[in-house]
């Protein structure tokens, strides 16, 4: 009952900032000529908000609470959190094994958190990252100390789960400098400094040829413009033994994100041996999963 009441209060609490955000975005779009080279998130006030967070310790302490950040990266609902717990269970793992990790991440950045049975208070966004971690561990036979790359890292929520449970030798991140700085600060809060040194930041728009054991992207590669998508495939993806791309463009276009992006058929042609599956749980009408190098089959 408390969780349902929270959901209702959050809904009404978001009405005013949502209206203001849409108004400001519409006004912004009239004055800014968006380049085809920009990612979807760069066409919103997201990066401006990240810069403010980096300049103010008080903002940083609650960066996951602000609407402009939440509607990009912190919008997983209470019910979706339940579905991610069920996903972990279906893969045969007990969500309570992550209790210590959840305790250390609890409240960091002041996210919206709910009480889940046997798990306690946790952000549903963290549950999504943990469910993705579990799925990846079941899909791929990764060697000890794998080299992992992530395109689009947010606040490093997914990276933190990899550092804690995958024991990677190195993680290469691809994102804008401001986002990478925010991610580094978050990792310093929740992990040891020796873990953080495994993270190597790369320029999102200056991709170099690199061989990795696993490349992952949660809804970020699919929001890049076509030219940059092609570079990632050519220089990073085809040189990776395995890949896990959660997509929200290219197959359908209910949300309007597919304009200026590679189509699914083009991606599959450029990535021989890749397969397409439904997102599980389904959290968006355009969402689906591309994997290659798999040794198992994801939930569908």
Q: What pLDDT score does 195 carry?
A: 77
**pLDDT value at residue 127:** 97
**DSSP calls for 212-245:** BSEEEEESSGGGS-HHHHHHHHHHTGGGBS-EEE
CATH superfamily assigned to domain 126-292: Vaccinia Virus protein VP39 (3.40.50.150)
pLDDT tens digit sequence for 75-85: 899 999 999 99
Domain ranges of the chain: 126-292
Percentage, residues of the chain above pLDDT 90: 68
Give the distance from CA 32 to its chain's centroid.
27
Stronger pLDDT, 72 or 211, i.e. the higher one: 211
- Give the integer Cα–Cα distance in Å for 66 and 17: 9
pLDDT at residue 24 is higher than 90: no
Is the pLDDT at 234 greater than 80? The verdict is yes
Give the pLDDT confidence score for residue 150 in this predicted structure.
Answer: 97
Confidence label for 12 from pLDDT (cuts 50, 70 and 90): very low
List CB contacts of 42: < 8 A, sequence separation 6 or more. Answer: 176
**Helix-helix angle 124-139:157-165, to 10 degrees:** 50
């Amino acid at each position: 009952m408390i969780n349902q009441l929270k959901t209702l209060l959050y809904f009404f609490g978001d009405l005013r900032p949502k209206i203001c955000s849409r108004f400001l975005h519409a006004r912004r779009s009239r004055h800014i000529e968006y380049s085809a080279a920009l990612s979807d998130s760069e066409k919103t006030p997201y990066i401006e908000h990240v810069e403010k967070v980096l300049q103010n310790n008080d903002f940083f302490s609650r960066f996951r609470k602000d609407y402009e950040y939440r509607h990009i990266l912190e919008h997983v609902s209470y019910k979706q959190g339940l579905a991610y717990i069920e996903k972990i269970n279906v893969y045969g793992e007990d969500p309570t094994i992550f209790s210590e990790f959840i305790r250390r991440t609890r409240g960091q950045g002041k996210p919206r958190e709910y009480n889940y049975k046997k798990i306690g208070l946790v952000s549903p966004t963290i549950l999504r990252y943990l469910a993705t971690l579990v799925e990846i561990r079941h899909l791929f036979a990764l060697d000890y100390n794998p080299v992992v790359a992530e395109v689009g890292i947010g606040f490093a929520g997914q990276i933190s789960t990899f550092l804690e449970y995958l024991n990677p030798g190195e993680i290469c991140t691809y994102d804008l400098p401001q986002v990478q700085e925010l991610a580094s600060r978050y990792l310093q809060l929740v992990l040891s400094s020796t873990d953080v040194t495994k993270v190597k930041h790369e320029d999102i728009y200056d991709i170099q040829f690199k061989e990795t054991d696993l490349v992952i992207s949660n809804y970020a590669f699919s929001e890049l413009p076509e030219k940059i998508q092609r570079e990632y495939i050519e220089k990073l993806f085809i040189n990776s033994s395995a890949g896990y791309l959660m997509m929200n463009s290219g197959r359908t276009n209910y949300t309007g994100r597919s304009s200026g992006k590679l189509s699914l058929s083009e991606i599959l042609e450029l990535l021989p041996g890749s397969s397409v599956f439904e997102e599980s749980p389904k959290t968006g009408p355009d969402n689906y999963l591309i994997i290659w190098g798999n040794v198992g089959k994801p939930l569908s």
